Amino acid sequence: MSTRVNNTKVIISARASYLHAFEPDSINGSDPKYSVSLIIDKKDTDLIAKIKKAVEQAKEDGKSKWGGKIPANLKLPLRDGDLDRPEDEAYAGAYFINANSKQAPQVVDRNVQPILDQSELYSGCYIRASVTFYAYNSNGNKGIAAGLGNIQKVRDGEPFGSRVNAKDEFDAVDGEDDFLA
């Protein structure tokens, strides 16, 4: 067994958006992937520093893919929500990383027990995700990508989107009303 430490992997605490943890999603006809947009509070400076350090290591590791040097115009995974998504209030005051994988992540709860009810994990909840940063050079595009590992749900949050909770729409029905009578 290798004792090499992976300096490009970070456990990221974030709010989940565009979450596809149980079924892969295809964007514009691309290969289907499991994915999540990880919204990271800009005030979490320790986590941001860890991410930047891992991205720098991925750049060093990627030199062989880029002809021995780091290109000046690399696409980087850590993006500023205030600049890149100014119309989306969920991204205000936050950085974000889009992480994905062709393999399904293991999805667990706070007690590291598998989450079987898919409705427990949704865009808007708070999670921890293992993310590995790696270099790519594909079709003239060069950069650092974020590979999605596993996901742990930490706590509930206000769901993104317009879907209303059924408990907010309906009251319990008393007795055995016969709708056909």
Position 168 scores a pLDDT of 73
Position 86 scores a pLDDT of 96
Burial (0-12, 13-18, 19+ Cβ within 10 Å), 136: middle
Lowest mean pLDDT among 33-37, 93-97, 119-123, 159-163: 159-163
Q: Does residue 127 contact residue 153 with C-beta atoms inside 8 Å? A: yes
What is the chain written as a DSSP string? Answer: ------TTEEEEEEEEEEEEEEEEE-STTPPPEEEEEEEEETT-HHHHHHHHHHHHHHHHHHGGGGTTS--TT-B-S-EEHHHH-TT-GGGTTEEEEEEEESSPPPEE-TTS-B---GGGS-BTBEEEEEEEEEEEEETTEEEEEEEEEEEEEEE--PPSSSPPPHHHH-PPPPS---TT-
User: Which is more confident, 176 or 47?
Assistant: 47
Sorted by where each starts, the structural domains of the chain and their CATH numbers stand as: 9-169 (2.40.50.140)
- Look over the chain and give the mean of its residue pLDDT values, rounded to a whole number: 91
User: Which is more confident, 50 or 162?
Assistant: 50
Is the pLDDT assigned to residue 3 strictly greater than 70? Answer: no
Position 164 scores a pLDDT of 64
Position 5 scores a pLDDT of 62
Q: Does residue 155 contact residue 123 with C-beta atoms inside 8 Å? A: no
State mean pLDDT over 125-143.
95
Position 165 scores a pLDDT of 66
Characterize the bridge pairing of strands 126-138 and 9-25.
Answer: antiparallel
Is the pLDDT assigned to residue 4 strictly greater than 90? Answer: no
pLDDT single digits (tens) 20-78: 999 999 988 889 999 999 999 999 999 999 999 999 999 999 999 999 999 999 999 99
Looking at the DSSP bridge assignments, the partners of residue 40 are 95
Is the pLDDT assigned to residue 1 strictly greater than 50? Answer: no
Position 13 scores a pLDDT of 98
Give the predicted TM-score (pTM) of the model.
0.86
